[in-house]
Structure 1
Amino acid sequence: MTVFLTIIVLALLAVTGWQMSKIFQLSQGNQNVGNDSEVANDKDNRINGYLSIMFLIFLYVISIYCFWNYSEFYLPEASSAHGADYDTLMFITIALIMFVQVITQFLLFYFSNKYAGKKGQRALFYADNDKLEFIWTIIPVVVLAGLILYGLFTWSDIMNVEETEDTMVVELYAYQFAWRARYSGDDNTLGKANVRYIEGINALGVDPSDNYGKDDVITTELHLPVNKPVLFKFRSQDVLHSAYMPFFRAQMNVVPGMITQFGFTPTVTSEDIQESEFMIKKVRKINEIRRENSKDLVAKGEEPLDSYEFEYYLLCNKICGKSHYNMQMKIVVESEEDFNAWMAEQKTLSEELSAQASN
């Protein structure tokens, strides 16, 4: 591989030197005037004009093809209350960008073809035009200002979570290379925590002297009751991580030495999204691919791939080390009755510490 890269670098250096020598010759005025001239003539300009139009058509065709053919990779409707606003903002932004892109690219290639260089023809230009400058300045300003204001209001609605008695408080704790969830217990208040208190079963460093932390529950799965607002507190033990929950349109940096937060209300249970038409089709396609790949594995005497089943997951969206790709935690969105039944099976931190002391 090193030899291959070395050859590529040397080839690029050779091409660079060749092109620089041609530029030097042109700058000296030593170019020939015949058919081998380095200066573009009318025929060259016409050919490049036609090629530019062909490239414009290719650009439009490939854009339409990608939007249409790869639409299956879009995420389904958001599984959180704020997700609809998030998606609306994104689609408006994409629509505006594509609208401007289509117009500007058309004008760019159209005028480059229409006003191609011709011998004896001098281009018409404006040394100064206040009206044109006003138009191409004010329109982007108004559009960008509208997008920014809409984005700020949407961001404010999403980020400014009103913490009420109904809001469930959950801490998401990141470390290389896994996640832990800490529920605030019956008092709905998380106990104080610091990495200096990490010892044995107390892997999150909860202050054992803080009464608020005694009923906290630490789990390796994140269970959430549907249609109940949740406020997440994020902590990192080692490096910068990022809590990413794409189906809930949620992401927040997890920074060592500080607490960040984000809140949302889950609206679609794990069972409901698994039974949705979108997910049934997606899972079927993935399993078809796995079955085809398993044939080669079986032929080699290896185990076939397991059947895929969709689950929500909390992922790390920062490259935090060699096992970053596998830093994930299962999320289960369920009815409040099922959530309460699951929570009743979990041991509080006080119970865990007592069991550790007795052992």
Structure 2
Amino acid sequence: MLALFYIFIGVAVGVSFWQITRILDFRGVIANDKDNSKQGKYALYFLIFLYAMMIYCLIAMNVLMLPEAASIEGEHDDRLFDITFWLIGIVQFIMQFLIFYFTFKYRGNKSKKAKFYADSHKLELIWTVTPAIVLVVLIGYGLWQWNNVMDLSDEDAVVIEVYSQQFRWEARYAGEDNMLGRGNVNYIDLNNLNTMGVDMSDVNAQDDKQVTELYLPKGKKIHFKFRSQDVLHSAYMPHFRAQMNCVPGMVTEFGFTPKYTTQEMREQPEVMAKTRGINKIRNAKGEELYEFDYILLCNKICGASHYSMQMKITVVEQEEYDEWIALQPALAAVIKN
């Protein structure tokens, strides 16, 4: 698929350069009706080819898209994407038809004279007001969704700090008090295993729990807080449609509610189809077979090993989450004061 795309791009570039050199040879030459008729037909042929490529890409390239959003808040991201995609697609489909069909219909002809049409206030009003209204609606929906993701008022939410550094992630769960202790790079002490810079003199830090893999309960709001030790990172959880920059010297945050466990997501038809496609390629190469997992990525080019900055996310039912979190040791038992 990718090879076919590169071949198409190469052919398109080659044809473009060939046409440019031909155009330079035609300086001073006046086109006749036969030439105009030929170019008009070429426009129709290209329109048919363009539509065929559009339909092919929409069907064949769909496998590259992410599956359904795995968070309740992410549903609105998908809906906003779908609305925008269909609006742009419909307008593009219509405009391409008008451009190339009119190129054919109104091709040069010595027996015809072009009609002079100065302007139309009605048309100008339509193509100014309509896009403005559409943009206001889309931007308004986007702002509402932003406020939805940034609504962290749920006092029962699971509070988790995600800590970024070149080139790995660590996480810290709030303990029984559901409050995280203070954190600052000045408190980092590798000898005492204080790799996240937690202020152990803070009473709220004593029952915090530090982990290297995220476990999330299905159906419960998760309140994420982000810090960075060194450079600008970006916490990206694509399946939950969530992303936030991790900025040195400050805390950023967002929240979402997982709606599918990892196992439930693995059993979705779309995910299963994608997994089969990936494993077909891996099997041919003799590589280890792939199994779907949620993942946390860094979406900023933060250095040479940026690509390896990943953390596994596992979504489970509440009961399994409670069992897992109970097994994690408190910081007070791990870090020496």
How would you bin the TM-score normalised by the shorter chain? Answer: 0.7 to 0.9
- Measured at CA, do residues 210 and 48 of structure 1 come closer, stay the same or move farther in structure 2, by a change above 3 Å? same
Hey, what does 2:144 align to over in structure 1?
153
Q: Counterparts of 1:194-343 in structure 2 under 5 Å?
A: 194-200=184-190, 201-294=193-286, 305-343=287-325
SS at match of 1:333: strand
Distance 1:163 1:106, change over 3 A: same
Give 1:203 deviation, angstroms.
1.0
1:120/1:258 CA distance change after superposition, 3 Å: farther
- 1:45 alignment partner, one of 13, 36, 39: 36
Change (3 A) 1:91 1:22: closer
Question: CA–CA distance in 2 between the matches of 1:220 and 1:233?
Answer: 15
Counterpart Cα distance in 1 of 2:24 and 2:271: 58
1:60 to partner: Cα distance: 0.9
Matched-pair identity in %:
50
The one-letter code matched in structure 2 to 1:128 is D
Alignment partners' CA distance in 1, 2:98 and 2:269? 42
**Residue identity in the other structure for 1:310:** F
Partners of 1:323 and 1:191 in 2: how far apart?
30
Show the counterpart of 2:164: 174
**Residues 1:67 and 2:63 are matched in the alignment:** no
Q: Hey, what does 1:5 align to over in structure 2?
A: none
State which of 115, 126, 149 in structure 2 corresponds to 1:124: 115
Match of 1:350 among 313, 332, 336: 332
Instruction: Compute the TM-score of the two structures, normalised by the length of structure 1.
Output: 0.83
Question: Which secondary structure state, in structure 2, belongs to the residue aligned with residue 180 of structure 1?
Answer: strand
CA positional deviation for 1:22: 5.0
Q: Which moved more, 1:81-90 or 1:323-332?
A: 81-90
**Is 2:78 the counterpart of 1:96?**
no
Deviation at 1:268, TM superposition (A): 0.8
The CA deviation at 1:250 is 1.0
Q: Which whole-Å deviations, capped at 9, do the CAs of 1:94-137 have from their partners, x for residues lacking one?
A: 11111110111111111122122233644223223212211211
- Taking only aligned residues, the RMSD between alpha carbons, in angstroms, comes to 2.3
Partner amino acid for 1:183?
Y
Letter of the structure 2 residue corresponding to residue 241 of structure 1: H
CA distance in structure 2 between the aligned counterparts of 1:156 and 1:262, rounded to whole angstroms:
10
Residues 164-217 of structure 1: per-residue CA shift (max 9 Å, x gap) = 1x1111011111111111111111111111111111111111112211112111
Where do 5+ consecutive residues of structure 2 fail to align?
1-13
- 2:101 counterpart (82, 106, 110): 110
Find out whether 1:138 has 2:120 as its counterpart. no
State the alpha-carbon separation in 1 of the partners of residues 210 and 35 from structure 2: 71
Moved more, 195-204 or 68-77: 68-77
The 10-residue stretch of structure 1 (273-282 or 314-323) with the greater mean CA deviation from structure 2? 273-282
Q: What is the alpha-carbon distance in structure 2 between the residues aligned to residue 122 and residue 238 of structure 1?
A: 69
Q: What SS does the corresponding residue of 1:65 show, helix, strand or coil?
A: helix
Give unmatched runs, 5+ long, in structure 1: 1-11, 32-36, 295-304
**Cross-structure match for 1:185:** 175
**In structure 2, the residue corresponding to 1:132 is in which secondary structure?**
helix
Count, aligned residues: 318
Of 41-50 and 185-194, the range deviating more from structure 2: 41-50
What amino acid is aligned across from residue 336 of structure 1 in structure 2? Q
Distance 1:236 1:125 in 2: 63
TM-score by length of structure 2 reads: 0.88
Supply the AA of the counterpart residue of 1:66.
C
> How far apart, CA to CA, are the structure 2 residues paired with 1:270 and 1:117?
62
The code of the aligned residue for 1:245 comes to M
CA shift digits 1:223-260 (9 cap, x unpaired): 11111111100111111111111111111111222211
Between the aligned partners of 2:201 and 2:160, the Cα distance in structure 1 is: 20
SS at match of 1:70: helix
Which structure has the greater CA radius of gyration? 1
